[in-house]
Structure 1
Amino acid sequence: MHAKTLLTVVAALLALNLPLRDAHAHAEHGQAQFGGVVAEAGEAQFEIVGKDGKITVHVSDHGKPVATAGASGKLSILAGAEKSDVELKPAGDNRLSGQGAYVAGAKLLLQVQLPGKKPLQARTVAK
């Protein structure tokens, strides 16, 4: 095999492998990591976890934690004809939390304001 042909084959194989590397790097994207439900808005991914009367929202950007210092938010919970709002405040590196609960099937509307960014809004259904 000539060197030029060999280089072409190697370059083609490398080019075909690049999308696989990116797919593997984002394998967890869209997947719940903490037992909650996932919602997305722009570059941000939110995992909403309701446990023991507390709502925790984990914030990430393509798997990387997003700092929530100075952030604020609100989770509106729609279950049948009932609506409740949970105020969310920073609760650690990449988390917001507040007091509240939701049931399976409830519609969740999340509004988050990260410092220096546009307000984000995401929707999902509780499982």
Structure 2
Amino acid sequence: MKLISTTFALMLMASGVVFAADKHAHGHEDKPLHGGLITEIKDVDYELVAKPDVLQLYVRDHGKPVDVSKATAKITLLSGGDKQEVELKPSADRLEAKGSFKVTPGTKAIAQVNLASKTATAKFVLK
């Protein structure tokens, strides 16, 4: 019995260390501003808003909007055995595509984003 409670205590301590390591110390919060999902890569936040008729990708660097007027992006949607690739175009303060998209819970979205000086791959799992 003592071995089980010691093991349980060690698991709790380890999970606390993992949780603490996940906290950010970069001066901005990773909260969605447009109701989407957030992924952070090297202090740049990528927010994906995925609806059945529109995909939108917002990009913020240290909390400030990034100029996406010359950016390109492609999103690959993976849902079950279905795969859909979508090109996003600049539209005001975001990258966007309109059409018909399978965006059910559990769908994986992989965004390949090319900004002026950076290329990044942002991954999302839709809820």
Per the normalisation by structure 2, the TM-score is 0.72
What's the counterpart of residue 110 of structure 2? Answer: 109
Say yes or no: does 1:98 pair with 2:94: no
Can you give the 5+ residue segments of structure 2 that lack an aligned partner in the other structure? 1-23
**RMSD between superposed Cα atoms in Å:** 2.0
CA contact (8 A) 1:108 1:123 kept: yes
Report how far residue 80 of structure 1 moved: 0.8
What's the counterpart of residue 7 of structure 1? Answer: none
For each residue in 1:46-81, what CA deviation from the matched residue of structure 2 results, as whole angstroms up to 9, or x when unmatched? Answer: 110023501011110121000001100001111111
Where does structure 1 differ by over 4 angstroms across 4 or more consecutive aligned residues?
Answer: 22-25
* Equivalences, count: 102
**% of aligned pairs identical?**
37
Change (3 A) 1:52 1:109: closer
What's the counterpart of residue 83 of structure 2? Answer: 83
CA contact (8 A) 1:74 1:86 kept: yes
Alpha-carbon separation, structure 1, partners of 2:76 and 2:87:
9
Say yes or no: does 1:118 pair with 2:91: no
Can you give the 5+ residue segments of structure 1 that lack an aligned partner in the other structure? 1-21
After superposition, where does 1:1-127 map in structure 2 within 5 Å? Answer: 25-26=27-28, 29-51=29-51, 53-93=53-93, 95-99=94-98, 100-101=100-101, 102-115=103-116, 117-127=117-127
Alpha-carbon separation, structure 2, partners of 1:24 and 1:123:
21
CA contact (8 A) 2:26 2:43 kept: no
Task: Report the AA paired with residue 79 of structure 2.
Answer: A
Q: Which has the larger radius of gyration?
A: 1
Per the normalisation by structure 1, the TM-score is 0.72
